[in-house]
Amino acid sequence: MRPTSPASDQSADAELLDVLDADGNPTGERKPRGAVHRDGDWHRTVHVWVVRSDGHVLVQRRAEGKQLEPGKLDVSVGGHLVAGELDVDVVREVEEELGLVLTYGALTYLGTAVTDRRYDDYLDREFQDVYVVTDDTPLSDLSLRVSEVDVVYEVPLARAIELFRDGRYVAAGGYDSQRRVNNALLVEEDLPGQGARVLAAELERVQALLAGEDPAGFAERPIEPA
């Protein structure tokens, strides 16, 4: 496991990632994360949505020190798989960002979203493997990684979809990285500049699963905004 002490984006940029081809297959090449983003190489990331048994979903606010989309709303847990890591290592990201210790068997795979986001000096091409897990650990018991996450909110699933898809506001209970109550009215201005509708599509896949759809069919259907 990587250290849990705060780390700068500079140190994260030194992590080695597996470079993929345009179809998501490993090329055998490994490059530092910063170089992958500089050169626009395809690479694999993970998104994990944490849902409650009462139908709420956790939404994080990214740390202000993040290079991309600082202070904006995002998936419950998101991160890169470093070179050589496998699907079972997804749970490492969950523990690092939220302090939740899970087994891989608790996760349900929802499909993969392919994203191509361009910033001023940054080209982020990702195959995002999306998972969901049900967990009722209280927000006050989570241990947020300060360098990654400022606040985690609980939002009703249907309202979270409307927020990311349409920018419709919603009031949400939250706790910050200092374990303080941090409730907020989440509004369109809180959304990331790119990728919000992909997050909405991921949550619609979560909604389909909770409505009884067989997850076996998800792998054949890419996650795409409507």
Closest CA to 19 of 52, 37, 43: 43
Its pTM stands at 0.93
Residue 13 has a pLDDT of 78
> Are 16 and 31 spatial neighbours (Cβ–Cβ below 8 Å)?
yes
**Helix (H) or strand (E) run with residue 128 in it:** strand 122-134
3-state class (DSSP) for residue 162: helix
Specify the range with the lowest mean pLDDT, choosing from 4-13, 103-112, 166-175, 177-186.
4-13
Q: Can you list the alpha helix ranges (DSSP code H) found in 42-106? A: 90-98
**Helix crossing, 196-210 with 157-166: angle to 10°?**
150
Non-local CB neighbours of 180 within 8 Å, separated by 6+ positions: none
Task: Identify the band that residue 4 occupies on the pLDDT scale cut at 50, 70 and 90.
Answer: very low
210 Cβ neighbours under 8 A, 6+ residues apart: 51, 55, 157
Query: Residue 183: is its pLDDT beyond 50?
Result: yes
The answer regarding whether domain 11-220 maps to CATH 3.90.79.10 reads: yes
DSSP state of 106: G
Residue whose pair of structure tokens reads 């201005």 in the numeric block: 189
Beta-carbon contacts of residue 177 (< 8 Å; ≥ 6 apart): 63, 144, 145, 146, 149, 150, 151
